[in-house]
A and B are shown apart, each in its own frame.
Chain A
Amino acid sequence: MTQLVLDNVSRWYGNVVAVNDVSMTIGPGVTGLLGPNGAGKSTLIAMMAGFLAPSAGEVTLGGAQVWRNVGAYRELGLVPEREVSFAYLTGRQFVQASAELHKLGDPRGATQHALEEVDLVDAADRAISTYSKGMRQRAKLAGALVHDPGVLLLDEPFNGVDPRQRMHLMALLTRMGEEGRTVLFSSHILEEVEQIARHVEVVVSGRHAASGDFGAIRRLMTDRPTHYTVRSSDDRRLAAALMGQRSVRGVSLQSPTGTSEVHVEVTDMGDFTRALPTLARDAGITVRELTPTDESLESVFTYLVQS
């Protein structure tokens, strides 16, 4: 079994702490490394991949330190966010170079197999520079798994990939996880992680904020006081009706721009969003606008760090 273990890992650059005392164990299956931009996800992945020395603590793969240990790459595949600068190579040449560097017995066969895995055979003999973003990601993935590693690390693999390709890539990662590989990918988008990751590690401002299966994380994120702004045909009556809801903690009537609106503080987002339409219909009120005022991922993360 291939386990990637981070043991009290920190990384700082001068006075700036990028990763602060993170411990986690990544095992088989798909793990999502979730966090807002600048949280230290790339720094963590760089340390997991042996491309950054931890300032303190250590990163081990199957018990062996990763930093300055090229032997670790027999078991590790990395899909960096960085684009391939060898874009003049064809996809096949790129993957085959990787196969040769891994000193595989049958580089051609392994290349063909990896290209089939990522469904890139048709385009394999075109230069990478002609590829779409999603195809480039798949070419990089093929290069990373050509030696059949137990651990795959992917840094923001879905960034800039169009939706159809994204689905494709997600299906691929899911399959890799089901095959028993340890797959870890980073993302700053909750929905991406939700779709494929069984296990989630959340990092915020370099700190390990939460860890667990997706349901637990999702509840942590949604079972928190949330604020909404509602505009309707009769704000005062709506406010009164809303106060009767168990999920509502506070209501206030305001008119910041001349038009009135209702500010609602909600304890359970799910309950509230299900109850509001029924409630408004029963009262004969037309809801014109419903805006979450602190639904940004940053505020979700901030909440997680505080709790």
Chain B
Amino acid sequence: MNPTISRLALRGLVGQRRGLVLLALPLVLILLALAVRLLTGEPISARGVLVEVGLAVVVPLVALLAANGVLGPEIDDGSVVYLLSTPVSRYAVAASKWATAAGVSVVLSSGGLAAAALVGGVSGRWVLGSAVAGAIAAILYTALFAAMSSATRHGMIAGLVYVLLIERGLGTLLSGLRYLSVQAFTQRIAEQVADIDMPVDMGLVYAVVAVVVVLVGGVAMAGWRLERFQLRGDE
């Protein structure tokens, strides 16, 4: 890890307009929970708001914006050479950038979900559980999206395709795709850790292995790509 890279990445994330969008996403979730609570006068449905909207939409979008934000634009316009023309290992560059994206995402996802759970009036176990799930998902999604952003210029689109098409769209039709779903891994583990009810039909061992693979594989892939970063001339 390299603190300078992380610091620069953080400035690039929160100092820019992307930072406002990042902040807006969990705020929308909290407002949604508040609105549902006020309109119905009852506690919100934890499954409906926290899982189906929070964990399924808000958390991956936050992670996508953060992970793509620390890597995508710099690779795209080539200015990443200013970081790469130094003796810092490219894997350290990737890991440091991912750590920043993951940190920002964990704070926003975990905080957003827990706050939504609080204002939604659900049980304390759900407040804790959704915070845990938000943190796990944020860490995994950012690793996955960091790999995508380093592998293709269209990392943003690749990430959206993954979330919307594979996890949401096809995932509801072909239940077997849960074995490729970060959300499913997250739910399986969060259920175990925080003792809340968000069942997924998946072995715990598989979920744990998948988490490690996504995490290590994603960050390593980003480093591997950075190690082979090629500067395209304008000519």
Residues of A within 8 A of B (CB): 18, 37-43, 46, 49-53, 68, 70-71, 73-74, 76-78, 80-86, 88-89, 97-98, 100-103, 143-144
Q: How far is the CA of A39 from the CA of B235 in the complex (A)?
A: 8
Asked whether, in the complex, the Cβ of B230 is within 8 Å of the Cβ of A51, the reply is yes
Asked whether, in the complex, the Cβ of B230 is within 8 Å of the Cβ of A101, the reply is no
Q: Chain B contacts of A37 at CB under 8 A?
A: 235
Within 8 A of A (CB), among B93-138: none
Q: A51-B229, A68-B227 are in contact. Are A103 and B79 (CB under 8 A)?
A: no
Least CB distance from B68 to A in Å reads 14
Does B2 belong to the interface (CB within 8 Å)? yes
Asked whether, in the complex, the Cβ of B79 is within 8 Å of the Cβ of A52, the reply is no
Asked whether, in the complex, the Cβ of A73 is within 8 Å of the Cβ of B86, the reply is yes
Q: Chain A contacts of B8 at CB under 8 A?
A: 86, 89, 97
Asked whether, in the complex, the Cβ of A86 is within 8 Å of the Cβ of B82, the reply is yes
Q: Chain A contacts of B88 at CB under 8 A?
A: 70, 101, 103
Question: What 0/1 pattern do residues 1 to 28 of B give for CB contact below 8 A with A?
Answer: 0111100100110011000000000000
Asked whether, in the complex, the Cβ of A80 is within 8 Å of the Cβ of B86, the reply is no
Asked whether, in the complex, the Cβ of A43 is within 8 Å of the Cβ of B235, the reply is yes
Q: A52-B230, A86-B8, A100-B4 are in contact. Are A42 and B85 (CB under 8 A)?
A: no
Least CB distance from B41 to A in Å reads 47
Q: How far is the CA of A154 from the CA of B85 in the complex (A)?
A: 13
Given contacts A38-B235, A49-B81, A82-B79, 18 further A-B contacts (CB under 8 A): A40-B235, A41-B235, A42-B235, A43-B235, A50-B85, A52-B231, A70-B87, A70-B90, A73-B86, A77-B85, A81-B234, A82-B78, A86-B79, A97-B8, A100-B4, A101-B87, A101-B88, A103-B87
Q: Looking at chain B, what size class is its interface with the partner chain?
A: 20 to 34
Asked whether, in the complex, the Cβ of A46 is within 8 Å of the Cβ of B4, the reply is no
Q: Tell which of B5, B229, B235 touches A101, judged by Cβ atoms closer than 8 Å.
A: B5
Asked whether, in the complex, the Cβ of A88 is within 8 Å of the Cβ of B11, the reply is yes
Q: Chain B contacts of A97 at CB under 8 A?
A: 4, 8
Q: How far is the CA of A38 from the CA of B90 in the complex (A)?
A: 30
Q: How far is the CA of A101 from the CA of B88 in the complex (A)?
A: 6
Provide a sorted-by-A list of 21 A–B residue pairs whose CB atoms are within 8 angstroms: A39-B235, A41-B235, A49-B85, A51-B230, A53-B228, A53-B230, A68-B228, A70-B84, A70-B88, A77-B85, A82-B78, A82-B79, A85-B74, A86-B79, A86-B82, A89-B8, A89-B11, A101-B5, A101-B88, A102-B86, A144-B85
Does B201 belong to the interface (CB within 8 Å)? no
Asked whether, in the complex, the Cβ of A51 is within 8 Å of the Cβ of B234, the reply is no
Asked whether, in the complex, the Cβ of A102 is within 8 Å of the Cβ of B78, the reply is no
Q: A82-B81, A84-B79, A86-B12 are in contact. Are A70 and B231 (CB under 8 A)?
A: no
Q: Tell which of A46, A81, A83 touches B230, judged by Cβ atoms closer than 8 Å.
A: A46
Does B48 belong to the interface (CB within 8 Å)? no
Q: Chain A contacts of B3 at CB under 8 A?
A: 100
Asked whether, in the complex, the Cβ of B227 is within 8 Å of the Cβ of A98, the reply is no
Q: Chain A contacts of B172 at CB under 8 A?
A: none
Asked whether, in the complex, the Cβ of B231 is within 8 Å of the Cβ of A74, the reply is no
Q: Which residue of A is nearest B230, CB measured?
A: A52
Q: How far is the CA of A98 from the CA of B8 in the complex (A)?
A: 11
Q: How far is the CA of A200 from the CA of B3 in the complex (A)?
A: 41
Q: Chain B contacts of A88 at CB under 8 A?
A: 11, 15-16
Q: Which residue of B is nearest A101, CB measured?
A: B86
Question: What 0/1 pattern do residues 45 to 85 of B give for CB contact below 8 A with A?
Answer: 00000000000000000000000000001100111011111
Asked whether, in the complex, the Cβ of A80 is within 8 Å of the Cβ of B81, the reply is yes
Q: Which residue of B is nearest A100, CB measured?
A: B4
Q: A46-B233, A68-B228, A74-B87 are in contact. Are A101 and B81 (CB under 8 A)?
A: no
Q: A73-B86, A85-B73, A97-B8 are in contact. Are A78 and B81 (CB under 8 A)?
A: yes
